[in-house]
Amino acid sequence: MGEVRLQKYLSEQGILSRRAAEEEIKRGKVRVNGTPAMLGMKIDPAADTVEYNGQVVASSVRHVYLMLNKPRGYVTTMSDEMGRPTVAELVEDVGMRVFPVGRLDLESEGLLLFTNDGALANRLTHPKYHKPKIYHVRIRGAVSPEKIAALGRPMEIDGYLTKPAEISVVTRKQDYTVLAIRLFEGRNRQIRKMCEALELKIMTLKRVAIGELRLGNLAPGEWRYLTRAQVDSLKR
């Protein structure tokens, strides 16, 4: 199902007539993804959550939740004007329209969530409900204890002060170091900017956890459905 006008959707669900739906939208009784609706707006029943008088309007669309191990070289969009590979190509066989929750940049890899549940997607991307995320970052050469400590402290980036992060060493080799970085916020390219400020050269950056959800041994480019327990953990 594609996009439909909100008043038509409410009518099709047996909630209100179209005319009554228009009046209720004007009165502010209808919300879409937690935001007051506007007359004439369109919604995607597979992706958006509609509420009327504080109650979710149930749709016949089944919500699905899955995780992808995003490879490097894919953009986190459903289409790309430059013709680059997109993560949408990796979940085509899901059989229904899903969209990514959050993003990983072109050269980053790892855990990326997909769903058609607009309410959960909005919750997971809202700062108030932010889930801690863990990244494994391979850095060229040795990383001094002083720089490891500096990564964990608040740092001014692009005019804002980052929240403290948790840093631990995963691997130390002669030519590289792997750090586990646990972030409690979701700023754009935050880890890359933190490392750049400390003159640390990132070789690879991989997200391995979101909240209680772990990437595990899922192969690059592969996806799987979340279990009910995993979905529930994301909703808490």
Note the pLDDT tens digit of each residue in 106-152. Answer: 999 999 999 888 778 878 888 888 899 999 999 999 999 999 999 99
Ranges in the chain annotated CATH 3.10.290.10:
4-56
Give 18 or 219, the one with higher predicted confidence: 219
Q: For position 78, what pLDDT does the model report?
A: 87
The answer to whether the CB of 66 falls within 8 A of the CB of 91 is yes
Backbone angles phi, psi at 143, to 5 degrees: -115, 120
Give 230 or 125, the one with higher predicted confidence: 230
Average pLDDT over residues 52-56: 89
Tell whether the torsion through CA atoms of 185, 50, 114 and 79 is positive or negative: negative
Q: At what angle do helices 118-125 and 228-235 cross, to 10 degrees?
A: 50
Ranges in the chain annotated CATH 3.30.70.580:
65-128+213-235
Q: For position 32, what pLDDT does the model report?
A: 94
pLDDT digits (tens, 9 = 90+) for 186-222: 889 999 999 999 999 999 999 999 999 999 999 999 9
The answer to whether the CB of 118 falls within 8 A of the CB of 197 is no
Locate 159 and state its tokens.
């005019």
Fold that domain 4-56 belongs to in CATH: 3.10.290
Residue that is written with structure tokens 């995993």 in the block? 230
pLDDT band (50, 70, 90) for residue 181? very high
Locate 81 and state its tokens.
């004007």
Q: For position 60, what pLDDT does the model report?
A: 60
Give the predicted TM-score (pTM) of the model. 0.77
Residues with catalytic function: 105
pLDDT band (50, 70, 90) for residue 105? very high
Asked if pLDDT for residue 182 goes beyond 80, the answer is yes
Q: For position 59, what pLDDT does the model report?
A: 67
Distance of CA 193 to the CA centre of its chain: 19
SS3 call for 188:
coil
Ranges in the chain annotated CATH 3.30.70.1560:
132-210
The answer to whether the CB of 13 falls within 8 A of the CB of 58 is yes
Q: For position 10, what pLDDT does the model report?
A: 86
Please, what is the average pLDDT of the chain?
92
The answer to whether the CB of 195 falls within 8 A of the CB of 183 is no
Q: For position 236, what pLDDT does the model report?
A: 87
* CATH class assigned to 132-210: alpha beta
Length, in residues, of the chain: 236
Asked if pLDDT for residue 1 goes beyond 60, the answer is no
Fold that domain 65-128+213-235 belongs to in CATH: Alpha-Beta Plaits (3.30.70)
Cα–Cα distance, 102 to 90 (Å, whole number): 16
Average pLDDT over residues 75-85: 93
Asked if pLDDT for residue 12 goes beyond 80, the answer is no
Cα–Cα distance, 211 to 118 (Å, whole number): 19
